[in-house]
A and B are shown apart, each in its own frame.
Chain A
Amino acid sequence: MSQNPNPLPTDPSVRPHVYDGIREFNHRLPNWWLFTLYGAIVFWVGYWSYYEWFRSAPEGPQRVAQAMNQIEAEKLAASAASHIDDPSLWAMSRNPVFIEAGRQVFTANCIPCHLQSLRGKSENPLAIGPDLTDQIWIHGGHPTDLYRTVTEGVPAKGMPTWGPILGQKRITAAVAYVLSHHQEGEPIIDAASLPAPK
């Protein structure tokens, strides 16, 4: 640009420093730019007063605790029942809505081992899971035992830990579906009470 028609004038407002031959003018910043700075300072006063002076907002750990409580409450509200016991599971097993929901969960997740009929090894000796319709229960003789077995699984035998996969709501439905193949008060034998087989 040697033909520059307007060479830079020597201006008294040029700052003294030079960097790589580049010099800097000492012009004022635009006022609107300065207003953003002043605005930030005003905001800071309010912000600092709110959080540090008056401490109007809860502290960090408190807010985390509040948020965690909120999440916990929503999880509980989303689950089918906060309290699971034998009578409530039996009651669900008579409810067609629960049974249908449970049938769907069972079909999606359980039939590879327990078969569509729920009869597992009783139907086909090569099946993986035991019969769920007979009256000899391997892992405890109560509906809550069944619920716990599904939730925690039997890792040594290959029964998966379904709790984190399905969640309480769907496990409850699946248990209700299995229980719908039984009657409350039928003579269920807890396998643990039997003498060990030969």
Chain B
Amino acid sequence: MPPAPLFKPVRDVVTTIRDDGSRRFLFPADVSGRFARARRVVAVGLIAVYFLLPWIPVGGYPAVFLDVAHRRFHLFGLTLAAQDLWLLFFLISGLGFGLFFLTALLGRIWCGWACPQTVFLDQVYRRVERWIDGDAVQRRWLAAAPWSVSKLLRRVAKHAIYLVLAIAITHLFLAYYVSIPALWAMMRDAPADNWGTFVFIAAATGIVYFDFAWFREQLCIVLCPYGRIQSALTDDHTLVIGYDWARGEPRGRPAAPGAGDCVGCDRCVHVCPTGIDIRQGLQLECVGCSACVDACDEVMSRLGRRPGLIRYDSLAGLAGLPKVWLRPRTILYGVLLLIGTAVAAWSISGIRPAVLGVTRMVGAPYYVDGQIVRNQFLVRLVNKRSGPAALLVTARDLPAGATAAGLEAPVTLAALGEELRPLIVQLPRSRYTAPFRFEVEVRDPAGTFTLERSLEFLGPESFFDAPAASGPAAASVPPPPAAPAATNPHESPAPHA
């Protein structure tokens, strides 16, 4: 049974969806050329990076290890804690501005060259398909052929490999979140021991398999929001893949008089992975894979004509107008990207491996104990590192006569640990005149970082408070102890809350 004749793409229907809503599967032809080679190099490099990142240790951790269970995020030696989650703002806004800028300048360079969907589909899954089912013509004939032992074996083999690849991809994806050793340990356990993870991996494998085995270009055409906002991000000077209409038209046989360079061989249509005819202009479906560029260049060189009938160019460039790189759009996106990058770098450089928080202890804001004014604080230290840390806490800028108790010894924190320490600051009442500020500083003994918090020392309002008086000061502050709480214990017990 011969396959159905090739569909001629038109702009008012999606090639891959038939009139009855069913799917029209594509069998894109093989293509070779400079962009195909370059894309393969880029894809192999990217896949190597994807696969190696969880394996390369940087500073004792995998290069990228998003340790969700412990809320620690290791990125190339930088360890971020849950307290640093606000930096995610820069990741998301940076991705946004970066994509805006890149798109305004270079169009869908991401889709065609770097998106994991394209990379894995073109360089992994389609290659398996090519290896098992043959080239585009053979694949079309096989798809139309009735079921036979040979066809069944090919289908089983192909989908088994698809499934294995999907399992590998999802496991690698999981390794980013649990690290390779933990992943390996879980893989050797029974599924019931890590039931939630197992179900997640099974579901993710199913999704990846479905995506690459069946869904394919539908993701780019229908689901992916990035493709849908292209028309808002690009303009006439954005680099896109386009057809040189003036040079190509009217189409005609090579020897035909008055004909343009396009010979109407439809090679650009046959190689298109989303099933469009690029000669009909820029379309939503185009993911910028450059297969048609290579295909057309090959035909042109065989005919002895200049390459570039289909090429990377702007719509203005294709129309013969000069290309403008600096445009309000690219300048705005570029400036926003630069500002975002600068602020992000500044913020990341401010990340310290510990957190210092100081609060006033629950109770009165100050105590008057005999001739001493006392303020009580609670120092909270969090060690964000994954090893133990000893931190020195000191109080600075205290006036003469003031003493701070509670910070004499270094505070030892366990890995990722949190400790609370009381900080008692005392000042002779005779020296107290008005509230003053002082600093609490934390540093590690090696002196690699310091953290500071400013605190206010409070005391009785001297205006209301005669030097010898022992009564409560102002109504706004709780009454200090009426009698000096001296050494004698024969005082009445304070009422409990």
Q: Which residues of A contact B14 (CB under 8 A)?
A: 27, 30
Q: Which residues of A contact B411 (CB under 8 A)?
A: 108
Q: Is the CB of B374 within 8 A of A27?
A: no
Q: Is the CB of B362 within 8 A of A158?
A: no
Q: Is the CB of B222 within 8 A of A157?
A: no
Q: Is the CB of B493 within 8 A of A139?
A: yes
Q: Is the CB of B493 within 8 A of A158?
A: no
Interfacial residues of chain B within 309-346, with CB under 8 A of chain A in the complex: 315, 319
- Kindly report which residue of chain A lies nearest to residue B409, judged by CB atoms: A107
CA distance A132 to B209 in the complex (A): 69
Q: Name the segment of A71-79, A80-88, A147-155, A179-187 touching the other chain.
A: A147-155
- Kindly report which residue of chain A lies nearest to residue B485, judged by CB atoms: A157
Q: Is the CB of B481 within 8 A of A156?
A: yes
Q: Is the CB of B420 within 8 A of A27?
A: no
* Chain B interface mostly: loop
Q: Is the CB of A160 within 8 A of B424?
A: no
CA distance A35 to B252 in the complex (A): 44
CA distance A192 to B13 in the complex (A): 92
Q: Is B388 an interface residue (CB 8 A)?
A: no
Chain B 277-292 interface mask (CB, 8 Å, partner A; 1/0)? 0011100000000000
* Chain A interface mostly: loop
Q: Is the CB of B218 within 8 A of A30?
A: yes
CA distance A130 to B488 in the complex (A): 9
CA distance A126 to B484 in the complex (A): 12
Q: Is the CB of A138 within 8 A of B489?
A: yes
Partner of B490, one of A111, A112, A140, A194: A194
* Count of chain B residues with a beta carbon within 8 Å of a chain A beta carbon: 56
Partner of B19, one of A28, A108, A156: A28
Q: With A11-B12, A25-B12, A109-B422 in contact, do A138 and B491 touch (Cβ < 8 Å)? A: yes
Q: Which residues of A contact B218 (CB under 8 A)?
A: 30, 32
Q: Is the CB of B422 within 8 A of A160?
A: yes
Q: Is the CB of A165 within 8 A of B20?
A: no
Q: Is the CB of B281 within 8 A of A191?
A: no
Q: Name the segment of B99-107, B180-188, B193-201, B363-371 touching the other chain.
A: B363-371
Q: Is the CB of B369 within 8 A of A128?
A: yes
Chain B 8-26 interface mask (CB, 8 Å, partner A; 1/0)? 0011111001011111000
Q: Is A133 an interface residue (CB 8 A)?
A: no
Q: Is A1 an interface residue (CB 8 A)?
A: yes
CA distance A192 to B494 in the complex (A): 10
Q: Is B349 an interface residue (CB 8 A)?
A: no
State how many angstroms separate the Cβ of B382 from the closest Cβ of chain A: 15
Q: Is the CB of B19 within 8 A of A30?
A: no
Chain A 100-118 interface mask (CB, 8 Å, partner B; 1/0)? 0000000011011100000
Q: Which residues of B contact A144 (CB under 8 A)?
A: none
Q: Which residues of B contact A164 (CB under 8 A)?
A: 362
Q: With A5-B249, A113-B405 in contact, do A160 and B23 touch (Cβ < 8 Å)? A: no
State how many angstroms separate the Cβ of A158 from the closest Cβ of chain B: 4
Q: Is A3 an interface residue (CB 8 A)?
A: yes
State how many angstroms separate the Cβ of B401 from the closest Cβ of chain A: 12
Q: Is the CB of B489 within 8 A of A128?
A: no
Q: Is B487 an interface residue (CB 8 A)?
A: yes
CA distance A79 to B100 in the complex (A): 54
Q: Is the CB of A9 within 8 A of B12?
A: yes
- Kindly report which residue of chain A lies nearest to residue B277, judged by CB atoms: A6
Q: With A5-B249, A6-B11, A158-B363 in contact, do A112 and B405 touch (Cβ < 8 Å)? A: yes
CA distance A156 to B496 in the complex (A): 9
Most B CB within 10 A of own CB, among A30, A160, A195: A30
Q: Is B419 an interface residue (CB 8 A)?
A: yes
State how many angstroms separate the Cβ of A62 from the closest Cβ of chain B: 24
- Kindly report which residue of chain B lies nearest to residue A195, judged by CB atoms: B490
Q: Which residues of A contact B (CB under 8 A)?
A: 1, 3-6, 8-9, 11, 25, 27-34, 108-109, 111-113, 121-122, 125-126, 128, 130-131, 134, 136-140, 148-149, 152-158, 160-161, 164-166, 191-192, 194-197
Q: List 27 A-B contacts (CB under 8 A).
A: A3-B319, A4-B280, A4-B281, A5-B249, A5-B279, A6-B280, A8-B11, A27-B13, A27-B17, A28-B19, A32-B23, A108-B420, A112-B423, A113-B422, A122-B487, A136-B490, A139-B494, A154-B494, A155-B497, A158-B364, A158-B367, A160-B362, A165-B420, A192-B492, A192-B493, A196-B490, A197-B491
Nearest 10 Cβ contacts at the A-B interface: A112-B406, A28-B21, A112-B405, A197-B490, A155-B363, A31-B21, A158-B367, A154-B494, A112-B424, A156-B494
